[in-house]
Amino acid sequence: MSDAVRFLRAVSMIMFLLALSACAANGQTRRPDPRDPMEGFNRSMYGFNSAVDRGVLRPVAKAYHDHVPRFMQTGLSNFLDNLETPNVMVNDFLQGKMVAGLADMGRLLLNSTLGLGGLLDPASAAGLDKNDEDWGQTFGRWGVPSGPYVVLPLFGPSTLRDAPLLYVDSRFRLDEIAEYYDYKKDDVVSWGLLTLYAIDTRAQLLSTDQMLKRAFDEYSFVRDAWLQRREYLVRDGDVPEEPIEEYPDEGDTSEQAPPKDESGDETPPSDESAAGDEHTPAGSEEVPDAEAGAEAPDTAPEKPKP
């Protein structure tokens, strides 16, 4: 039995135990989010992932970020990005993005040759920008709904649609590309690349730690942020804006302009406003102070003699 199979069996057992504890602790005091019907299980799994992150992944990523020279970190990031480029390129073409697919093909050829196997990134300097596509985005582009939100052990946030496709992404990256680079396809190489990818990704997310600590509910904050970004990636930024309903302030007593009818004319004043004008004689006009002062006599009237 390989180490990978033992690991997956251990993870399955952990998920089963956490699911039992989540079902026992999940009360009826909270109305679940419709996008997250398994919130009790997901919170337990998020707690497990957070414990692993605090105990192992974050200290390793912080030591890597603080002590490894910057040019080596950049080279590793470029190398891992280059390994993912064929997967991105295939999904570009499957989504009908021919220009982006050809650009990613040019990135792969240029970085794999002039970039010393992907350690350098001459493609970006040549104007070939990096794209971000995967199988989950492709299925979403084809109209497959995302399904419920789910937190996977060690892999973190996902959805019912994207979770099985993570395996396709990983195998495409670790098997096909490892063969391209003449690596021996075994568990050592696969887990080694996966470990490097996890450390590099976690090191890039160290700047978000303080923001998570300030969140009122860390789990809800991560869930909402991840789902919003995922929808943004699937729709290529064309996300419909949700209408914002504005409510007037309670202390705002300022007068507003009268509404207009369909013809564009202002609506007549209400009965209350009309009643306030009844004391003013019809046809009379208020005389400005300046004019009244001009018509007044220059001298005051004489007092009557006794």
pLDDT tens, 270-288?
554 444 454 444 444 444 4
Residue 58 lies in a domain: yes
Is pLDDT above 80 for 162?
yes
The pLDDT of 217-237, averaged and rounded, is: 94
The alpha carbon torsion through 171, 177, 181, 182 (nearest 10 deg) reads 50
Residue 289 lies in a domain: no
d(CA 17, CA 37): 19
Residue 115, both tokens: 């970039």
Residue 199 lies in a domain: yes
Residue 178 lies in a domain: yes
Domain count, the chain: 1
Is the whole-model pTM more than 0.95? no
Question: How many other CB atoms are there within 10 angstroms of residue 214's CB atom?
Answer: 8
pLDDT tens, 167-207?
888 777 666 555 555 555 566 777 788 889 999 999 999 99
- Tallying the residues shown for the chain, one arrives at 306
- Greater pLDDT, 303 or 141: 141
d(CA 98, CA 103): 9
Residue 54 lies in a domain: yes
Residue 206 lies in a domain: yes
φ and ψ at residue 288, rounded to 5 degrees: -60, 155
Residue 196 lies in a domain: yes
Give the structural domain span for 219.
Answer: 49-67+134-234
Residue 175 lies in a domain: yes
